[in-house]
Structure 1
């Protein structure tokens, strides 16, 4: 039996359960294996889920399991499949996830990608036919912690209506970037090219919360602050045409280059029995091949920018991880019960 420490916290009358990180990983692994997942799939998804939760990225932490668990049951995600890994030359790795989770393909290639990048100056992973990517920043951060600059892009089913288009055209098409720094805290950002991530809309709808203006439109194309109306409508790109351009770039790299489904052709990730067949591309650069002292230069530059009041992306989330390593994480009892019922 998995043991946890239960702690009721008087925050909006919501009760929370506190886990150490190891306990949380074990809890998620047990839950996944109860849905028929192989030990490898359960392990990859559990570590990615808990890492996101520890960073405070709850949208792709425990809450995201509410998408994975029904996906395993319905057939949208193959719970046991191994990705098919191949290479095209010394620096290009290819993964066909075969309808499984995206995280396992990255895990299977991680050490080889790091070695190839450090030996050759760069390496890349092209993955197709997976469920959605999860927390894209988890991949880039791990590579940055291994001393590499990492850029990752991913696509998924069409959820976003761009200016002038008739209907949904792209997914939220996230992009993440991370770089190692001599101060021990990698520079990191992970963001959707839409005004927000779909999981934030879904969470607002489930809790009866409103959403900010500019996030979405309803089914008639009118701007809305009603999350339920947004679920029937579409998300919006950030920055209008500029955001739409970035979405197209991500689509070309994550779907066109990898051979994954275009967003327009991808089955839904939250209904039906077909895999969305998403794509993921990760580009890695070894800084020492380009200039000596990169990590120290970056640390000095980030210190200067911080003194000028510039926000340092990823700083808070990585400090949250340190706190979680010491104090554990807390998850609402209501969410845990919901996931157990799933």
Structure 2
């Protein structure tokens, strides 16, 4: 028998998520911020980082891995740098708190850096850069978390999936948005395969003994592999230096598990925002023409367009999700 499902509008998803987060011990501000990011992930066609990821946050609030009452502490060591101590809370609230000032400073100075630490894992990384692109800025972001993937030549987890994201505005169209992990696949896809009793493709992971595996349960106990072998692992190391080294966050090797225990992973988030008009006044028009040429004349897939289509679709028809997930969220209560 097919799994039962339920359809919700984006507004209903926001209400559902925020209410569950408050019941789990989140402040109103934290609940609003995280609900906004979850809705954005669902709208962008990334359900694994939307409501399906919400139980991780609810459990973390309940067990103390997220301090639901934490208020981000923002400092500015020099005008073009913003540093955020999330104080054991969430990265989304820190970014929301700093957002208007970050945009304003970038328009004044031409570029700014935002660096946060001491947070739970950051969720959909593309959400951060896409919001800056909507303000006419070019943005690059990198984040880390608990160790999940092996380094070049190694068999034990030393880096998180260490994603990086990039967004740029274009005239008369959706922004270019690139969001990808340094691992061969996202950890949530391996976990999904384990939950449904499936297998994973070769080249995704190693088991606890360092042997290649297609068993997602063995992969969870072992290590994910970087995409492209040593080249992908080098990118993961680069992200680690930006997201943990420069921000003062936990190195992935030192980050507590985001799924168990009562300690925050202490993840880091690094964002570089650039005002393109200081370098090329017609940047958005030039980018639009180039992306159109790549797509129309060379058949190139343009990241960000599928995201825009998903937003239009979900804005009108809403989102369908498993009834079991809806029930678990709507009935969540603190232990």
- 1:52-131 superposed matches below 5 A: 52-131=41-120
The match for 1:13 is 2
- The separation in 1 between residues aligned to 2:20 and 2:328, in whole angstroms, is 12
Q: Decide whether the 8 Å contact of 2:155 with 2:206 is kept in 1.
A: no
Taking the aligned partners of 2:326 and 2:261, their CA distance within structure 1 comes to: 24
Query: How much has 1:166 moved relative to structure 2?
Result: 5.0
SS at match of 1:190: strand
Which one of the candidate residues 217, 230, 233 is aligned to 1:241? 230
Q: CA deviation at 1:340?
A: 3.6
Pairing of 1:269-288 with structure 2 (within 5 A): 269-288=258-277
Specify the SS of the correspondent of 1:32. Answer: helix
User: Structure 1 residue 216 and structure 2 residue 205: aligned?
Assistant: yes
Moved over 6 A (4+): none
The alpha carbon displacement at 1:183 in A equals 2.2
How far apart are residue 232 of structure 1 and its match?
Answer: 1.1
RMSD (CA atoms): 1.1
What TM-score, normalized to structure 1? Answer: 0.95
Assess if the C-alpha contact under 8 Å between 1:162 and 1:240 holds in 2. no
Question: What is the number of equivalent residue pairs in this alignment?
Answer: 331
Q: Say if 2:234 is the partner of 1:255.
A: no
Report the Cα offset of residue 275 of structure 1: 0.5
Task: List runs of 5+ in structure 2 lacking aligned partners.
Answer: none
- Conservation of the 8 A alpha-carbon contact between 2:44 and 2:311: yes
> What is aligned with 1:313?
303
For residue 338 of structure 1, report the CA deviation from its aligned partner: 2.7
1:1-39 CA-to-partner distances (Å, cap 9, x unmatched) read xxxxxxxxxxx7222222221111011101101111100
CA–CA separation in structure 2 for the residues paired with 1:22 and 1:67: 21
- Does the Cα contact within 8 Å between 1:32 and 1:69 map onto a contact in 2? yes
Task: Give 3-state SS (helix, strand or coil) of 2:83's partner.
Answer: strand
1:279-306 Cα shifts (integer Å, max 9, x gaps): 0000000010001100000000000000
C-alpha distance in 1 between matches for 2:330 and 2:193: 21
CA contact 1:155–1:254 (8 Å) conserved in 2? yes
For CA contacts below 8 A with separation 6 or more, give which structure has more relative contact order: 2
List alignment gaps of at least 5 residues for structure 1: 1-11
Matched, 1:304 2:309: no
Separation in 2, partners of 1:341, 1:207: 23
Deviations 1:105-127 (A, max 9, x none): 00000110000001111111010
Give the Å deviation of 1:341: 4.8
- Work out the CA distance in 2 between the residues paired with 1:164 and 1:295: 41
1:329 equivalent to 2:319? Answer yes
Deviation by residue 1:142-193 (Cα, 9 ceiling, x = unmatched): 0000000000000001111123225211110000000000022100011100
